Amino acid sequence: MSLPRLKVLVVDDSPEDRLLYRRLLGRTEHAAFELFEADSAAATHRQLDAHAVDCVLLDYQLPDATGVEILDDLVGEGATPPLPFVMLTGHGNEHVAVEAMKRGAQDYLVKGSLTAGSLERAILNAIEKVALHRELDRHRADLQRSNRELLRFASVVAHDLQNPLATVMTLLRALRRDLEDGRTGEAVLTRVDDVLGASSRMTELIRELLEFSRIGGAARQVQPVSMPDLLQEVADGLRALREADGGEVSWGSLPVVHGDPAQLRQVLQNLIGNGLKYRADAPPQVRVDCVEQQDAWRFTVSDNGAGIDPSEHQRVFDAFVRLPESAHLPGTGLGLAICKKVVEHHGGQIGVESRRGEGTTVWFTLPK
């Protein structure tokens, strides 16, 4: 079995010591080491610029700086050091080691009692510690991001569920008055229908919210997805909407992509549904195309509808955003937010090109 190759920068001004490390690291069991050398702080910077090293062995005293000063300089302010450092100290100055550990070194060794085993172990441990640090940093950043999203989401949900609920309560109060007054028949039935209407809007909202929050949660079912087949299904599903309006959906040549078919269907359904729904005077026409880029497929869904003002292009991808001009049409404002989440979870990007009165093109990419 071949050993992992690791690049180590040895910073020491004594040629004999450097030779010693070279000899010791030539006899290791768990990794093969490629060594670079520096005999000063200035040479250290030059070597680090020239080579992507995995670890630095750092002597405590150099002609132009102490090891601790070099550490300070290289580690900077971040909580996670940019590189694993192992400090080399002399007998009797272990306080330097303590100082170095405080400033970001992962380990220290005392010169004079080094063995191939102890040197190798220190280097490998230092590399592993820094890798763990980075992993933790990534997790922390992920958590902070999802926490921010959740908070925003919760406040938006609370706000948007209030509206249909307030409608239901108003209607029920009116219904109570009707019944108190002894009214029956058509008027009362209409009230009941209104309550049912507002309640089903809430149900729809909750269903979409659930879908929205599920994306990115459970593992995606990634598999080859034939986009022409998916489009045919979506177009068939939207037949009622198309026929009522004289709308047409057409598409050019489309590839097979890698993705979650259920989520990609949602994307196409939302985008084509919007293209049909936010129409101008002419019968709605929606066209889906795809071009191949170096690393991705770029899809476009274009319509001849009402268009979106450029000042709204960012905002329409946020949850619950509906433009005032479409307030009279059904919808919860989650469609594009779902599309964005799905596309980004597939490693792609999404955006819109449009002006009021000039139709809309929503584009998205999926990695190949």
- Which residues are near ligand ATP by CB under 6 A? 208, 270, 274-275, 278, 303, 305-308, 316, 321-323, 326, 331-337, 360
Query: Could you tell which of Mg ion, ligand ATP, none binds residue 306, using a CB distance below 5 to 8 A set by kind?
Result: ligand ATP
Q: Looking at this protein, which amino acid is placed at residue 42?
A: A
Beta strands at 107-110 and 85-89: parallel, antiparallel or unpaired: parallel
Query: Could you tell which of ligand ATP, Mg ion, none binds residue 308, using a CB distance below 5 to 8 A set by kind?
Result: ligand ATP
Q: How far is the CB of 242 from ligand ATP (least distance, A)?
A: 15
Q: How far is the CB of 353 from ligand ATP (least distance, A)?
A: 11
- Asked if 261 is part of the footprint of Mg ion (rule: CB under 5 A), the reply reads no
Q: How far is the CB of 297 from ligand ATP (least distance, A)?
A: 21
Query: Could you tell which of ligand ATP, Mg ion, none binds residue 99, using a CB distance below 5 to 8 A set by kind?
Result: none
Cβ closest to Mg ion, residue 87 vs residue 209: 209
Q: How far is the CB of 280 from ligand ATP (least distance, A)?
A: 9
- Asked if 335 is part of the footprint of Mg ion (rule: CB under 5 A), the reply reads yes
What string of DSSP letters covers 187-244? Answer: HHHHHHHHHHHHHHHHHHHHHHHHHHHHTTTSPP--EEEEHHHHHHHHHHHTHHHHHH
Long-range contacts, stretch 97-103, CB < 8 angstroms, 24+ apart: 99/68, 100/58, 100/60, 100/67, 100/68, 100/71, 103/68, 103/71, 103/72, 103/75
Among 106, 274, 361, 365, binds Mg ion (CB under 5 A): 274
* CA–CA separation, 46 and 36 (whole Å): 11
* CA–CA separation, 261 and 276 (whole Å): 22
Q: How far is the CB of 301 from ligand ATP (least distance, A)?
A: 8
Cβ closest to Mg ion, residue 247 vs residue 335: 335
* CA–CA separation, 163 and 202 (whole Å): 9
In the block, residue with structure tokens 């700086």: 65
Q: How far is the CB of 98 from ligand ATP (least distance, A)?
A: 58
- Whether residue 332 contacts residue 320, with contact meaning beta carbons closer than 8 Å, is answered with yes
b/e per residue 306-329 (b: at least 16 CB within 10 A): bbbeeebeeebbebbeeeeeeeee
- Contact range with Mg ion by CB under 5 A, out of 26-34, 85-93, 274-282, 350-358: 274-282
Query: Could you tell which of ligand ATP, Mg ion, none binds residue 54, using a CB distance below 5 to 8 A set by kind?
Result: none
- Asked if 360 is part of the footprint of Mg ion (rule: CB under 5 A), the reply reads no
Query: Could you tell which of ligand ATP, Mg ion, none binds residue 278, using a CB distance below 5 to 8 A set by kind?
Result: ligand ATP
By the criterion CB under 5 A, which residues form the site for Mg ion?
274, 335
